[in-house]
């Protein structure tokens, strides 16, 4: 911990020095002029990442996700050029005057003769809230990789509650665990992986880690609020080489930036809804010379659909970046989040069928506090070479207190013991990347080289908490806990390289390599349940290994491509797997890390601007899968749920998405638009091998946990001027929560999660500076659930919410 705190102190000194530097140079170029504008294609869609450069001086910038750009430049007469991969460049002559802003807009036409530089023309443009990543974008290589970008400004969704069903509707195969109705904790996965708190994804915000500990405890208790997000980048398992070894791939939330066309912009959105929901979002941002800034604060509270489900959340964020020169940009960010939730506990199947709103526990609480300081540096060495670095820290904590005994009735006696679990996280990480474009045998190529260092320190304590029913997260005797007290220092270093090479005008190959070093440690004490014997332990587990992958792209035509990728993955055992003390629940002390790979083969494109599609098949190999089996207790009187390496599984399936814009079929730009989208995923995830021969007949051929065979989402969207509405249908098929595929048990801990379907309606209207929104979630008022809990927040079925309604009023000035 001392070493980690030293890193934090050093980091804070870096932040202070950067603020001083910004203050020193804030008045430089006061007599310069400003160039602002927007770059779009011939259909009016913004071109993200397009380059703008002044010919005479060489000064230039890249456009943001909305196609907007700003350049601070000396006064005079100059030639301004805009260009983007796959488009014909365009020049304009401008006259700049001191202290004034010149607005210059560009509309670029597709260049069909330069396929060796383009992924697919138009493929990385926003199409009703969904697009693809370009071959090379944002200091990363995505050629040949299955990916999606959800552009929040282009979709109809209940952003105030982070409604995952709507936000990820156009990303096929996203399985959702609904931990709460307000979207406080995100739980998603694909391809038969576990959705619990998004552990199978490498979760990032603006390119840096946000989970509790990406190596030792990758659960995400902090979810970036959707109202502040510009886009969500999702790269499937092939992201393992560039971002982290997880099987799910990358999930990166990119926040908005200050409006480069304004010195000050203020946005407020106020949302009220059923069950006491109130959400207040407020942000400021803008561009002052070379300084860009953006900040927001969100307060959210509600009573919840069930009894004992109240919550209170506060989230704040601030970022500032300064363009010191054409080549150098430095940025600072800080995120702070805190919330308190009451948790109503679980139900048996009989209790759920009788009354899904019932709650038999009023003493269970959960809280989390997240603080993340970040320093960023972007440097352009020359026209072909860029370098960036992200240094970040995490000072966070989470705690849960309550009665989690298996008996589910009448847990309201305030004299009964409550179990308290509390974690502290003190983490530091940094990641550097170098991207170089070059020519090899007259063919264009891009090389990405990167390195990462991460140090985590998790302090986990568990024991008896105070009795009563309030949210007290203090231990009565903190110096000697009656269950366990452990520290988990972890160290991770990695080196990675990927290279995309265009072999012909239509074919590119992208080999990649990552070398990973993981050093996991544990030190502390625990008490044995029956004998109350004190056990002290100190362990170290060091692993280092290579991962390989390769991707291939084939441009069938300027609007369609075939892609293939195969990449190895790795998932280390996390602290939650090895240290659990819950009644009738044990953990195998010899758990092994998970190994395997992802493979994708797909066809994606855009047909004449009215059909957007992506059809792919995948294969996922998952060895040493960790699951839960049932064994007899030592005295043979009880059934123990035992977490261990169950066996080997494989997932094979298809992921398809398509959207038709009926109004564009005649190749015009209509005033009204009607579009229909559909995403469909089929997953056949089964156990192919059991590690323990005694389990061979019990699990081989059985469906993997949390692996529904089909997930379907479809929606109809109508737009007219400032009005937009979407009616969406979603269905998720049956899934199981244990390797035996049990239908149900008397205590409700394991069993099936029955198939369920839902209908959501969202409408938004913008008039001048005002926004109005209406959202009806679960329009048909279905009763369903997506989770069975083994321990906290109370064993059993955790029901999802029935119908809810919310209204939003927004203002932007």
- Asked if 206 contacts 254 with a C-beta cutoff of 8 angstroms, the reply is yes
Average pLDDT over every residue of 191-208: 94
pLDDT the model gives residue 14: 42
Q: What is the predicted pLDDT for the residue at 11? A: 45
Domain ranges of the chain: 31-111, 249-540+549-812
The arithmetic mean of pLDDT across residues 314-329, rounded, is 95
**Residue 413 binned pLDDT confidence (cut-offs 50, 70, 90):** confident
Give me the mean pLDDT over the 559-580 stretch.
Answer: 87
Q: Is the dihedral of CA 100, 101, 103, 108 positive or negative?
A: positive
In angstroms, the CA 729 to CA 718 distance is 15
Mean pLDDT of 576-582: 65
Give the Cα separation of 467 and 175 in Å (integer). 37
Range scoring the smallest mean pLDDT among 15-24, 179-188, 400-409, 740-749: 15-24
CA distances from 762 to 291, 423, 568, 701, 777 (A): 37, 38, 40, 41, 8
Rg of the chain over Cα atoms, rounded to whole angstroms, equals 27
Give the confidence band of 86 by pLDDT, cuts at 50, 70, 90. low
pLDDT the model gives residue 637: 66
Q: Write the pLDDT tens digit of every residue in 514-540.
A: 999 999 999 998 886 655 677 888 889
Please give the helix or strand (H or E) that residue 186 lies within, else none: none
Look at residue 126 in the predicted model and tell me its pLDDT: 72
Rounded Cα gap, residues 304 and 340, in angstroms: 13
Q: Which residues contact 668 (CB under 8 A, 6 or more apart)?
A: none
What's the average model confidence in pLDDT over 531-553? 88
Residue 124's pLDDT is: 56
Q: Give the residue, 177 or 579, on which the prediction is more confident.
A: 177
Give pLDDT, residue 18: 43
Q: Is the pLDDT of residue 511 over 80?
A: yes
Give pLDDT, residue 13.
40
DSSP states along 772-788: EEEEEESTT----EEEE
Looking at residue 189, its pLDDT comes to 96
Residue 745's pLDDT is 84
Residue 373 contacts residue 393 (beta carbons within 8 Å): yes
Give the per-residue pLDDT at 406: 59
Q: How far apart are CA 587 and CA 640, in angstroms?
A: 10
What percentage of the chain has pLDDT greater than the value 90?
64
Residue 442 has pLDDT above 70, yes or no: yes
Which tokens is 733 given? 């098929």
pLDDT digits (tens, 9 = 90+) for 744-787: 888 888 899 999 999 999 999 999 899 999 999 999 999 999 99
Stronger pLDDT, 663 or 116, i.e. the higher one? 663
What letter would DSSP give residue 240?
A: G
Residue 696: the pLDDT is 85
% of the chain with per-residue pLDDT over 70: 90
Q: What is the residue-averaged pLDDT of the chain? A: 88
What is the DSSP secondary-structure string of 52-90? EEETTT--EEE--TTSEEEEEE-SEEEEEEEE-TTB--E
Q: DSSP label at 274?
A: G
- With a cut of 80, say whether residue 173 has pLDDT above it: yes
DSSP 112-162: TT-GGG-S-TTTTS-BTTEE---SEETTEE-TT--EEEEEGGGS---GGGT
pLDDT at 85 over 80: no
Average pLDDT over residues 86-98: 79
> pLDDT, tens digit, for every residue of 714-723?
999 999 888 9
For the ranges 193-197, 266-270, 558-562, the maximum mean pLDDT occurs at: 266-270
* Distance in angstroms (rounded) separating the CA atoms of residues 274 and 711: 28
Beta-bridge partner residues of 285: 265, 294
* pLDDT of the residue at 702: 94
CB 753 within 8 A of CB 735: yes
Question: Residue 384 pLDDT > 70, yes or no?
Answer: yes
The predicted model gives 590-616 an average pLDDT of: 93
**Whole-Å CA distances, 526 to 187, 461, 581:** 30, 10, 10
Q: Cα separation of 243 and 454, whole Å?
A: 12
The structure tokens listed for 716 are 């109809």
Return the percent helix, strand and coil in the chain, to nearest 5: 10, 55, 35
Per-residue tokens: 369: 């506090």
pLDDT exceeds 90 at position 141: yes
Instruction: For residues 184 and 186, give the distance between their C-alpha atoms in angstroms, rounded to a whole number.
Output: 7
Tokens of 130: 């969904």
Identify the pLDDT of residue 582. 61
Calculate the CA dihedral of residues 218, 219, 224, 230 and round it to 10 degrees.
50
**Average pLDDT estimate for 285-300:** 96
**Which range is least confidently modeled, 125-129, 165-169, 556-560, 744-748?**
125-129
Measured between alpha carbons, how far is 448 from 274 in angstroms, rounded to an integer?
49
Distance CA 571, CA 642 (A): 20
Lookup: tokens for 362: 């009023």
Instruction: Identify the sign of the CA torsion 586, 591, 593, 597.
Output: negative
- Of 43 and 38, the structure prediction assigns the larger pLDDT to 38
pLDDT digits (tens, 9 = 90+) for 331-367: 999 999 999 999 999 999 999 999 999 999 999 999 9
Q: Is the pLDDT of residue 92 over 50?
A: yes
- Say which CATH architecture domain 31-111 belongs to: Sandwich (2.60)
The three-state DSSP-derived secondary structure of 652-718 is EEEEEEEEEEHHHCCCCCCCEEEEEEEEEEEEEEEEEEECCHHHHHHHCCCECCCCCCEEEEEEEEE
Q: Which residues is 457 bridged to in the sheet? A: 489
The answer to whether 595 and 569 are in contact (CB under 8 A) is: yes
User: Residue 55's pLDDT is what?
Assistant: 66
- In this predicted structure, the answer to whether residue 89 has a pLDDT above a threshold of 80 is no
pLDDT band at 581 (very low <50, low <70, confident <90, very high): low
Sign for the pseudo-dihedral over CA of 629, 631, 633, 634: negative
Q: What DSSP element (H or E) covers 24?
A: helix 2-25
**668 burial level (CB within 10 Å; 0-12, 13-18, 19+):** exposed
Q: Domain 249-540+549-812: which CATH class?
A: mainly beta
C-alpha span between 387 and 434 (Å, rounded): 4
* Cα 251 → chain centroid: 4
């Amino acid at each position: 911990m001392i070493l980690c705190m030293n890193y934090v102190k050093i980091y804070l000194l870096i932040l202070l020095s950067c603020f001083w530097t910004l203050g020193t140079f804030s008045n430089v170029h006061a007599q310069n002029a400003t160039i602002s504008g927007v770059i779009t294609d011939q259909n009016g869609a913004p071109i993200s990442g397009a380059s703008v450069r002044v010919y005479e001086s060489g000064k230039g910038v890249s456009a943001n996700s909305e196609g907007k750009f700003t350049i601070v430049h000396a006064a005079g007469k100059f030639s301004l050029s805009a260009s983007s991969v796959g488009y014909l460049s365009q020049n304009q002559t401008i006259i700049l005057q001191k202290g004034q802003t010149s607005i210059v807009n560009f509309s670029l036409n597709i260049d069909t003769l330069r396929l060796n530089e383009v992924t697919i023309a138009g493929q990385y443009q926003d199409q009703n809230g969904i697009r693809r990543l370009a071959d090379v974008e944002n200091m990363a290589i995505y050629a040949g990789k299955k990916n999606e970008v959800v552009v929040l400004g282009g979709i109809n969704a209940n952003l105030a509650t982070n409604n995952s069903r709507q936000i990820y509707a156009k990303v096929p195969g996203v399985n959702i665990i609904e931990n709460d109705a307000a979207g406080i904790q995100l739980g998603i996965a694909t391809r038969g992986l576990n959705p619990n708190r998004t552990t199978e994804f490498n979760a990032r915000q603006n390119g840096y880690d946000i989970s509790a500990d990406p190596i030792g405890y990758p659960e995400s208790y902090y979810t970036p609020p959707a109202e502040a997000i510009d886009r969500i980048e999702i790269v499937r398992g092939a992201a393992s080489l560039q971002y982290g070894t997880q099987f799910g791939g990358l999930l990166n939330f990119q926040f908005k930036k200050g409006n480069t066309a304004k010195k000050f912009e203020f946005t407020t959105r106020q949302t009220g809804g059923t069950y006491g929901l109130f959400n207040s979002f407020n942000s400021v941002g803008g561009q002052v010379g070379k300084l860009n800034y953006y900040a927001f604060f969100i307060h959210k509270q509600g009573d919840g659909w069930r009894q004992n489900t109240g919550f209170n959340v506060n989230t704040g964020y601030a970022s500032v970046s300064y363009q010191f020169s054409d080549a150098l940009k430095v940025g600072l960010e800080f995120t702070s989040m805190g919330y308190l939730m009451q948790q109503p506990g679980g139900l048996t199947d009989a209790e759920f069928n009788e009354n899904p709103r019932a709650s038999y526990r009023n003493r269970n609480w959960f809280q989390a506090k997240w603080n993340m300081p970040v320093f960023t540096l972007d440097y352009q060495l020359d026209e072909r070479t860029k370098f960036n670095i992200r240094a970040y820290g995490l000072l966070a904590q989470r705690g849960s207190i309550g009665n989690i005994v298996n008996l589910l009735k009448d847990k309201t006696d305030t004299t009964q013991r409550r179990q308290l679990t509390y974690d502290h996280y003190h983490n530091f990480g940094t990641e550097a990347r170098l991207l170089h474009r070059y020519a090899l045998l007259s063919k264009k190529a891009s090389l990405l080289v990167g390195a990462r260092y991460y140090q985590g320190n998790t302090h986990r304590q568990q024991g008896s908490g105070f009795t009563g029913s309030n949210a007290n997260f203090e231990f009565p005797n903190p110096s000697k806990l009656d269950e366990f007290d452990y520290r988990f220092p972890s160290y991770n270093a990695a080196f990675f390289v990927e290279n995309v090479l265009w072999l012909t005008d239509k074919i590119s190959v992208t080999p990649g390599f990552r070398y990973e070093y993981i050093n996991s440690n544990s030190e502390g004490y625990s008490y044995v349940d029956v004998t109350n014997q004190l056990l002290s332990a100190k362990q170290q587990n060091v692993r280092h290994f290579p991962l390989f992958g390769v991707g291939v792209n084939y441009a069938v035509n300027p609007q369609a491509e075939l892609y293939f990728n195969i990449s190895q993955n790795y998932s280390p055992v996390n602290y939650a797997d090895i240290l659990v003390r819950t009644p009738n629940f044990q953990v195998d002390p010899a758990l092994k890390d998970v190994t395997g790979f992802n493979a994708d083969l797909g066809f994606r494109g855009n047909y004449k601007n009215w059909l957007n599609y992506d059809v792919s098949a995948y294969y996922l190999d998952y060895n040493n899968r960790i699951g839960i089996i049932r064994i007899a207790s030592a005295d043979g009187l009880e059934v123990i749920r035992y977490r261990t390496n169950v066996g080997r599984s494989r997932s094979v399936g298809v992921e398809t998405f398509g959207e038709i814009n009926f109004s564009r079929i005649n190749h015009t730009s209509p005033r009204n638009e009607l579009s229909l989208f559909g995403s469909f995923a089929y997953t056949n995830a089964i156990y192919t091998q059991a590690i323990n021969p005694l389990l061979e007949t019990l699990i081989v051929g059985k469906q993997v946990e949390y692996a529904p065979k089909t997930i379907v989402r479809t929606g109809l969207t109508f737009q007219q001027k400032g009005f937009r509405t979407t009616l969406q249908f979603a269905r998720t098929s049956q899934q199981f929560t244990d390797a035996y595929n049990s239908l149900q048990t008397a205590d409700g801990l394991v069993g099936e999660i029955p198939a369920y379907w839902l209908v959501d309606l969202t409408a938004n209207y913008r008039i001048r500076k005002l926004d109005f929104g209406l959202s009806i979630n679960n329009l048909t008022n279905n009763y369903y659930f997506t989770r069975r809990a083994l321990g906290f927040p109370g064993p059993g079925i955790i029901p999802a919410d029935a119908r809810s309604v919310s209204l939003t009023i927004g203002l932007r000035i």
